[in-house]
Amino acid sequence: MLQIDHISKSFPAGRGQHTMVLDDIVLNVDEGQSVGLVGESGSGKSTIIRCALGLTRPDSGRVSYSGIDVHRSSRFDTLRFRRDVQLVFQDPYASLNPRMTVEELVSEGLLVHKLETTAAGRRARVVEMLAMVGLGEEALTRYPRSFSGGQRQRIAIARAVVIRPKLLICDEPVSALDVSVQAQVINLLQDMQKQLGLGILFVAHDLAVVRHLCTTVAVLERGRIVEHGTREQVFDTPQHAYTQALLKAVPIPDPAVGRARRAERQLAP
Amino acid sequence: MGVDTILTDGIVPAQVRRRPESLLQVDQLSIDIATRDANVRLVDNVSFGIGRGERVALVGESGSGKSVTAQALMRLNSRVKLSGRVQFDGTDLLSLSPRQMTAMRGQRMGMVFQDPMSSLDPLMTIGDQVAETLRIRGVSKREARQRALDVLDELKVERAAERLDSFPHEFSGGMRQRVVLAMALVGEPHLLIADEPTTALDVRVQERVLDLLDEISRRRSLAVLLITHDLGIVAGFADRVMVMYSGRIVEENEATLLFAEPQHPYTRGLLEAVPRADITVDRLRSISGAPPAPAARPSGCTFHPRCDHAMAVCTSVEPGETITPLGARVRCHLYGEG
C-alpha cells in the first residue's frame, strides 16, 4: 500500500556542507499490517514521516501510495491520499484545536471529504466513533480542555479513524501519556487495527511499545535502516550490533534482569 | 503460595533484614497549596525513611505528588505549606531558617532535575557552574576548580580539564546531565534527590547515567532518592521502592519483593500495564480511567473508582497502613485489620 522506495534526504548544514538525514530508506506498509519504526532522537524518524506524507520531497528515491507517486500526483490523488492516510501525533494537548468541540473535531474529516452530507448523518458517525474509543455522547459538546491526556489521545484517534483511512501513521502516540493510561491507548490501537483492517506505521523510540504493537519492525540508526524483519527476528535474534545495544539498554521491570545486566556491563572493559 | 516460593529463593523477609542507619526520616508530611478558590492537599500524610547509602525509588504518575514531595524535602517550593516532620541526619528541616536551609542544600543534600538544559546557565562555563556550590561556601577559586575537575572525572566526562571552560551548548544531552550531577555531587552530599534524571535521554545514554549513579552511590555510600514514573529503571537501580498514587504512598517494599509480589491493586495494575521489550503478550491489562486531580480526589481509597477489587468500604473509608507477611507496607482494605 505505502511504499518507501530507496529515499535519501540531506539538509544543508552551512558552509556548503550537507548533513545526510536519510540514507537509502526502504520501507513498505501493506494493508492491515502494523509496521514499527524504532529510532533514537535524531535518527530521522520524523523526516521519514514527512516524506511519506509528501510534505518533504526526498532528494532521490520515490514514495508511492497504491502505486501512485506521492510527490508527483495530481490534485485528485492528493485528496484521496489525505483521506486514506491519517495521522496521530505525540502530544494530544497540541494536536487538538482548543476552540473546537469534540463533535467539530471528530466530524471535520467527514465534512472535508464530503462523506456525510447531513448534520444528522455526521453526528451519528461521530457518536458511533466515540463509542468505539470509549467516550460517551456527552463528550460531543465539550472542549479538549476538559479531557485528560489519555482521553484527548482517544479523541485524536477518533478524529483520524472516523473517515475510515487505510493507513494510520502514529508518531509517538503514547509517549506523552501516563503509564496506567498508555495501555488503554495501545489496546485501542490494537483493536482498531484488527476490527477495521487498518495498516499502521508506528513510529516510536520505545522498543517495548513497538514490540507489543507491531508484527514487522525496522530499526533506524542515524538515517539508515540497520535491521528490518519480523518482530521475533528483530527482538529475539537481533543481528545488528546497534539493535543488540538498544535492546540491552531498554529497562526491563524485573530487578533480576537489571542486576544481571549491570554485572555483565561491569565485567566488560 | 507466593510467600513460600519467594522465601525459598533466598530472599530474607523484611523483619529480619538489617536496615541501614537512618539518614532521612519523613513523618506524616502533608503538602498543601492555596489556590484562588480553596486549599488543595497535594500530598497527604506521607511517612518514609531512607538509610545511609540506600537507594530508594519513589514511583508515581503525573500529579501523584512525587515531585512536590522531593521539592518539599529540599524546601524548594515556597508557595506550598508543609506540615509534619522531616528529620535529616538529626536536624529537623522544617524548622530551619531559610539561611540554614541554604547551607543544607548542595552541601548535605543535592538534587538533579529532568531537563539538564534548564538547570544550567547558558552563559556560564561548566567549570564555574560546578564550582559555584563550593565558591558560595568560601572555598578558594583554585581549590573549587580542582574539585569541580575531580567530580567531572569521577563522572567520566572525557577530557574534563579542557572542557571546564566550555559552555553548556557545547555538550550533548547525556553530558549535560553529567554536569548537572557534578553540580549536585561536588559538595559531597549524603543524599541525592534525582527527579526523573534520565527521562529526557535516549535509552543507551540513560543506561550510562544510571550506571554512573549506581557506581558513585556505592563508592561514596551516597543515599539516592530516585523519583520516576518508569518502573523499568527502578528495577535495575533501587533497593527499595515506594509507589505513590494521588498524594499517598500506597505501597512500599524491597524492590525484589515489590516486583515479584506486588500487593496493592494499583502496583499490580501498573506492572501489568507496562509493555516489555523482552516478552510478547497478546494484550496488555489496562487500568480503567485516569489518575484523579488533587483537587478532585475520590472519597475513601482514592484508587477505588479504578480498582477491580473495590468493596463497599473502599468508597468511604481511607485505608490505613498494614504490613503484609511479605514485609510490604500497603494501604488497601484487602489487607486490613482482621
pLDDT in tens, B194-213: 999 998 889 999 999 999 99
With an 8 Å Cβ cutoff, are B276 and A181 in contact? no
Question: What pLDDT was estimated at residue B329?
Answer: 95
What is the ipTM for the molecules in this complex? 0.85
For chain A, what's the residue count?
Answer: 269
Strand partners, B99: none
Q: By the 8 A CB rule, do B151 and B132 touch?
A: no
Single-letter residue type at B232: G
Share of chain A above pLDDT 90, in %: 73
In terms of Cα–Cα distance, which of A187, A164, A198, A144 is closest to A31? A198
Please give the average per-residue pLDDT across A163-180, as a whole number: 90
pLDDT at B101 over 50: yes
Residues of A in contact with B285 (CB under 8 A): 183
Its CATH class, for the domain covering A2-267, is: alpha beta
How far apart CA A3 and CA B118 sit, in angstroms, is 41
How far apart CA A38 and CA A27 sit, in angstroms, is 12
Pairing of strands A18-29, A2-12: antiparallel
Q: Please report, for residues A36, A137, A219, A244, B19, the alpha-carbon distance to residue A241 in angstroms, rounded to integers and kept in the order given.
A: 19, 50, 11, 5, 42
pLDDT at A237 over 60: yes
Interface residues of chain B, partner chain A, Cβ below 8 Å: 61-62, 202-204, 206-207, 211, 214, 229-237, 255-256, 259, 269-271, 273-278, 280-281, 283-288, 290-291, 306
In chain B, what are the domain boundaries? Answer: 21-238, 259-335
- Cβ atoms within 10 A of the Cβ of B141, count? 11
Share of chain B above pLDDT 90, in %: 76
How far apart CA A104 and CA A122 sit, in angstroms, is 10
With an 8 Å Cβ cutoff, are A151 and B290 in contact? yes
The C-alpha cell 529537623 sits at B92
Q: List pLDDT tens digits, range B17-52.
A: 556 789 999 999 999 999 888 899 999 999 999 999
Which one of A133, A252, A264 would you mutate to disrupt binding with B, by most B Cβ within 10 Å of its Cβ?
A252
With an 8 Å Cβ cutoff, are A253 and B232 in contact? yes
Nearest CA in chain B to A39: B202
Q: By the 8 A CB rule, do A133 and A155 touch?
A: yes
Interface residues of chain A, partner chain B, Cβ below 8 Å: 40-41, 148-151, 178-184, 186-187, 190, 205, 207-209, 211-212, 231-232, 235, 245-259, 261-262, 265
Nearest CA in chain A to B198: A251
The C-alpha cell 549491570 sits at A262
Residues of B in contact with A252 (CB under 8 A): 232, 235-236, 276-278
Its CATH class, for the domain covering B21-238, is: alpha beta
Calculate the average pLDDT of chain A.
92
How far apart CA A85 and CA A52 sit, in angstroms, is 10
Intra-chain end-to-end CA distance of chain A, in Å: 47
Query: Closest approach of chain A CAs to the CA of B227, in angstroms?
Result: 15
With an 8 Å Cβ cutoff, are A180 and B291 in contact? yes
- Cβ atoms within 10 A of the Cβ of A79, count? 14
How far apart CA A214 and CA A190 sit, in angstroms, is 9
Residues of A in contact with B287 (CB under 8 A): 180-181, 183-184
Question: What pLDDT was estimated at residue A269?
Answer: 61
Q: Which residues contact A27 (CB under 8 A, 6 or more apart)?
A: A4, A35, A37, A48, A218, A225, A228
Please give the average per-residue pLDDT across A232-244, as a whole number: 96
